Amino acid sequence: MHDNNTPKSESSNYARSRYMRFTVLTLFPEMFSALLIGGIVKRAIERQYVSVEPINIRDFAKDRHHTVDDRPYGGGCGMVMKPEPVAEAIRHAKKRHPEACTLLLTPQGRLFSQMVAQKLAGYAGLILVCGRYEGIDERIREHLVDDELSIGDYVLTGGELAAMVVIDAVTRLIPGTLGSEDSAQEDSFSNGLLEYPQYTRPRSFEGANVPEVLLSGDHSAIRQWRRHASLIRTVLRRPDLLMVQALTAGDIEFMKKLQQDIKTIIGKHSTAS
Ligand code: ADE
């Protein structure tokens, strides 16, 4: 469907450091037309920064009814995806894209994160295998995929939405796909902290004003205010991120000052009561 055969980097005019081919193995290839409705992924496909090619696993079923599922050995409810069509589909995709990394989307997989997205953006291609029903025959996981990914601790009806999440998060890391090169560098998580609050016009909205410093034109003060706002937000919402994140001497100084202010406030209240 949207496989643009020749990436711009190979054909032409402007040098492109990377091009990403997503091949999606699914029983519902139509779901991926959603990526063409609008937004950055649509633009990235149109401008040939990435291609998304859904392949129907059912096309690889050999029997007359194109059967793709069967009852589980050992009993139990639900159906399991048969190994043969999935294996055929994976081999077909690997033959076309031997450089690609093959990933199975499953709630039992490694948790997808910004760091995983960054690592995946370094591949020339990703083959995303979407499970349905109660899962895929175990022998596929064991022998035909490089890794298994989960997008969170909840169970979806299939891997398709998870594959679209991966496509979206990885696409925006491909150089050139975002309006400005540094937008991805300033993301939440890519500097290990949550993003600072953003404001646009009007200056006053329903009685709430934009912080003065952002109107000051003092870029160094703005940078410092944003760093401090990021730190405070991360402490309050995701302190776990700060346990592994390298902090600057300025960050520590700022946090010590906060700690001192909090101690003073608590001290005031405990002597009062
Ligand atoms: N398939 C079903 N649930 C999923 C999840 N949470 N992540 C990835 N693939 C899935």
Instruction: Give the other-Cβ count within 10 Å of 273's Cβ.
Output: 4
- How long, in residues, is the chain? 273
Catalytic residue list contains 211 = no
Distance 111 CA to ligand 1 centre (A): 10
Other Cβ atoms within 10 Å of 75 Cβ, number: 6
Cα 115 from Cα 70, distance rounded (Å): 36
Q: Quick check: is 263 in a domain?
A: yes
Is 5 contained in some domain? no
- Shortest CA distance to 100 belongs to which of 158, 170, 34, 40? 170
Classify residue 176: in a domain, yes or no. Answer: no
Domain with 251 in it: 204-272
Out of 3, 84, 134, 168, the active site residue is: 134
Does 182 map to a domain? no
107 is catalytic: yes
Residue in 176, 191, 178, 268 with CA at minimum distance from that of residue 229: 191
175-215 pLDDT, tens per residue? 999 986 557 777 777 788 999 999 999 999 999 999 999 99
Respond yes or no: is residue 233 known to be catalytic: no
From 107, 226, 227, 233, active-site residue: 107
> Is residue 145 located within the same domain as residue 241?
no
Q: Are residues 102 and 18 in the same domain?
A: yes
The tally of domains found in the chain comes to: 2
Active-site residue flag, 91: no
Cross-strand bridge partners of residue 56 = 26
SS3 113: coil
Alpha carbons 203 and 207: distance in angstroms, whole number: 10
Spacing, Cα 176 to ligand 1 middle (Å): 29
Q: What is the C-alpha to C-alpha distance for residues 140 and 25, in angstroms, rounded to an integer?
A: 13
Q: Does residue 47 fall inside a structural domain?
A: yes
pTM recorded for the entire structure: 0.91
Q: What are phi and psi of 74, to 5 degrees?
A: 90, -5
pLDDT per residue, tens digit, the chain (273 aa), is: 444 445 544 444 445 568 999 999 999 999 999 999 999 999 999 999 999 999 999 999 999 999 999 999 999 999 999 999 999 999 999 999 999 999 999 999 999 999 999 999 999 999 999 998 889 999 999 999 999 999 999 999 999 999 999 999 999 999 999 986 557 777 777 788 999 999 999 999 999 999 999 999 999 999 999 999 999 999 999 999 999 889 999 999 999 999 999 999 999 999 766
Looking at ligand 1, which residue's alpha carbon is closest to its atom 6? 107
Please indicate, yes or no, if residue 247 is contained in any of the structural domains.
yes
Which amino acids bring their CB within 6 angstroms of ligand 1?
Answer: 105-107, 131, 150-152, 154-156, 159, 162
The SS3 call for residue 38 is coil
Element (H, E) at 250: helix 249-272
Q: Tell me which residue has its CA closest to atom 2 in ligand 1.
A: 156
* Residue at which a domain ends, from 128, 146, 171: 171
148 with 219, same domain?
A: no
User: Which CATH number covers residue 249?
Assistant: 1.10.1270.20
Q: Where is 186: in which H helix or E strand? A: none
**Residue that terminates a domain, selected from 123, 151, 171:** 171
Boundary-marking domain end, from 119, 153, 171: 171
Shared-domain flag, residues 236 and 105:
no
Same domain? 122 vs 246: no
